[in-house]
Amino acid sequence: MNLGFGVVGTGAIGQEHMKRITRKLTGADIVAVTDVNQELAGNIVKELNLNASVHKDDTELINDPNVKAVLVTSWGPAHEGTVLKAIEAGKFVFVEKPLATTSEGCERIVTAEQEQGKRLVQVGFMRRYDSGYLQMKEAIDNNFIGEPLMVRCSHRNPEVGERYTTDMAILDTLIHEIDTLHWLVGDDYKSIQVTYPKKSSRALEHLKDPQIVTFETKSGIIMHAEIFVNCQFGYDIQCEVIGEEGVVKLPEVPSVGYRKDGVRGYKILQDWQHRFNDAFNNEFQDFIDSINQKGEPQGPSSWDGYIASVTGDAGVRAQTSEQVEVIELPDRPDFYKKTKLEESSL
């Protein structure tokens, strides 16, 4: 039987995910929706020609017996409440990042899920499903480059609007690297520091851009991450892991090469939707298949959402102090420990 999704928040990414679930993927249907703007939710149901109930709020949607999994794509501050209600009702949850907007909120979710006794929650850290990162992880896990020693990466966006603030560079942009980098090398973070190079004249007055973030992991790996959200030229994600015996590098996204007007070149993507479209499809297909076949999700867990939040908080402190900030992480509970086989089968 198909997995019935109830969608909470039918805005930009909610609509994208509804389209991928109904048009691209197999094994699931959208059976219910809700949004603070109920008219919007109703219109999307009509537009996508869905056989789905429109509920007045998340509580009513979670109590709908046809809803087996709740897709949380409302705005960040509403995530915690919906996720906790869904866990209490024993329903599966796919929640877009952030899991919750505070680490205390993430901890409440982690506790509630453990009390329920089985994994119910997956967090939308889709980079773990990107084929380039997966190839890098496989090489690192197979000791192809020996012990990882250093990581260099960049997260560049062409430009951002007025509402984008300096802390969002950590909490909205770097959050994806925060999740991906420790997973990639199989280590935990120990500390974080933020430094500010010369400011780009293209950045608005209130925004510090670019920023360089330095992580140190428990085993001593140093990771440099550049965040540059007004780089002008495109959406550009780079990552390179340097090991004792070699280097692995995130592949460039293939694009048509051209020769024109005396130039030989390649187009650069302009947005994250195109860059990670396949990864989004893969993460949802894995969520659906894991639940349908194994009875629980196996992707990034609420513990991963919690780690990202604690690390993000330390990053925001480091933005102000400009000092090395210690990242205090409790040990991963057995409940959230994964075997290598489970990780590599993502």
Question: For binding to ligand NAP (CB under 6 A), which residues are involved?
Answer: 8-14, 34-37, 40, 58, 73-76, 78, 96-97, 124, 126, 272
Q: How far is CA 231 from CA 28, 101, 201, 228, 274, in A?
A: 39, 27, 11, 6, 18
- Minimum gap (Å) between residue 153 Cβ and ligand NAP: 16
Least Å distance, CB 166 to ligand NAP, is 17
On whether the CB atoms of residues 134 and 250 are closer than 8 A, the answer is no
Can you tell me the distance from the alpha carbon of 93 to that of 113, in angstroms, rounded to the nearest whole number? 11
Sequence letter at residue 308: A
> Least distance from C-beta 336 to ligand NAP, angstroms?
20
Q: Minimum CB separation from ligand NAP for residue 136, in Å?
A: 19
The least distance separating ligand NAP from the CB of residue 344, rounded to whole angstroms, comes to: 22
Phi, psi of 186 (to 5 degrees): 65, 45
Locate 39 and state its tokens: 């008219």
Question: With respect to ligand NAP, which residue has the nearer C-beta, 97 or 119?
Answer: 97
- Give the residue closest to ligand NAP by C-beta: 11
Q: Of 8 and 308, which CB lies nearer to ligand NAP in the complex structure?
A: 8
Q: How far is the CB of 94 from ligand NAP (least distance, A)?
A: 11
Q: How far is CA 110 from CA 88, 115, 178, 305, 332, in A?
A: 12, 9, 19, 9, 11
By C-beta, is 25 or 40 nearer to ligand NAP? 40
Q: How far is the CB of 154 from ligand NAP (least distance, A)?
A: 16
Nearest to ligand NAP of 23, 259 (CB atom):
23
State how far Cα 310 lies from the chain centre. 15
Residue 243 or 315: the one with the smaller Cβ distance to ligand NAP is: 315
Tokens of 261: 């007007």
Nearer to ligand NAP, 18 or 288 (CB): 18
CB nearer to ligand NAP: give 272 or 335: 272
Q: How far apart are CA 222 and CA 274, in angstroms?
A: 30
Edge-first strand order for the sheet with 211-217 is 247-249, 236-243, 148-156, 222-228, 211-217, 189-195, 325-326
